[in-house]
Amino acid sequence: MKRLSIFVSGNGTNLQRIAEYFKDNHDVEIVNVVCNNPKAYAIERAKKLGIPVRMVTKAEFSSADFIEEMAGLKLDLIVLAGFLWKIPAGLIEAYPRHIVNIHPALLPKYGGKGFYGEHVHEAVVAAKEAFSGITIHYVNEIYDSGEIILQAYTTLDQKETPDSLAAKIHQLEQAYFPVTIQQLLFWS
Ligand code: GAR
């Protein structure tokens, strides 16, 4: 049995898709959802999906107790699915090369602090980029700079808006994130 924890801060569409993808796979269990934002719609999604939610405060998140709690879950992978806090070094040390993030741009461009969600798409459209995409990468101590596992591309149209680009990126995320997680769990 492979054990997953999914960290979220917002809407939770990636959480939903991952949970649905593994629903009938009895070799994968989403042990919990860790959430830092009491207003996140992802909490409702997790409840409907029957996955326990562990809310965390900022102080708790970097505490030794939380890191120990997570280490005790014996996870095979921690998945950051729209999670917006930096991961404490202690957790990265507890799960080396076992924490992955999805970023809604082609890193190393449009990464780092402040580049998340729609802010990324606004910057990409403003710069009139020809391409954008998604990056799935391992997490290290520096925002959006861990080793890249997969990138997928889409093109921007002349009339592209941040919203229309977000929809394209969303499709790429839905298509590639669960299957990449599966590959990491079983074939890496
Ligand atoms: C996703 O587009 C994800 O790539 C992005 O937040 C969104 C979360 O959506 N992550 C980042 O920007 C991380 N820097 P969701 O809550 O609906 O899954």
pLDDT of residue 113: 87
Q: What is the mean pLDDT of residues 29-40?
A: 98
Tell the burial category of 38 from Cβ atoms under 10 Å away from its Cβ (0-12, 13-18, 19+).
exposed
CB-based burial label for 159 (10 Å; 0-12, 13-18, 19+): exposed
| 102-119 average pLDDT score | 95
137 lines ligand 1 (CB under 6 A): no
Instruction: Please give the pLDDT value at position 39.
Output: 98
Residue 187 has pLDDT above 90, yes or no: no
Domain residue spans in the chain?
Answer: 2-103+136-151+172-187
Active-site residue identified among 103, 119, 121, 170:
103
111 C-beta closer than 6 A to ligand 1:
no
The residue contributing the CA closest to ligand 1 atom 7 is 82
Q: What is the pLDDT of residue 108?
A: 97
Ligand 1 pocket check for 81: Cβ under 6 Å: yes
11 C-alpha to ligand 1 centroid (Å): 8
98 is catalytic: no
- CA nearest neighbour of 51 among 28, 30, 74: 30
Tell which residue, 113, 96, 94, 90, has the closest CA to residue 147. 96
Q: What is the pLDDT of residue 120?
A: 97
Of 175, 184, 186, which Cα lies nearest the Cα of 21?
Answer: 175
How far apart are the C-alpha atoms of 185 and 178, rounded to whole Å?
11
Quick one: which atom of ligand 1 is closest to the CA of 13?
17
Taking only the tens place, the pLDDT of each residue in 44-66 is: 999 999 999 999 999 999 999 99
Ligand 1 atom with minimal separation from the 16 CA: 18
Written as one letter, the residue type at 15 is L
Question: Does the structure show a pLDDT above 80 at 106?
Answer: yes
- Domain 2-103+136-151+172-187 is found in CATH 3.30.465.10: no
pLDDT computed for residue 137 by the predictor = 98
Give the span between the Cα atoms of 161 and 100, in whole angstroms: 28
pTM score: 0.97
In a mutational test of the pocket of ligand 1, which residue from 11, 35, 39, 102 has the highest number of ligand atoms less than 8 Å from its CB?
102
pLDDT of 188: 74
Instruction: Give residue-wise pLDDT tens across range 130-145.
Output: 999 999 999 998 989 9
Q: Is the pLDDT of residue 146 over 80?
A: yes
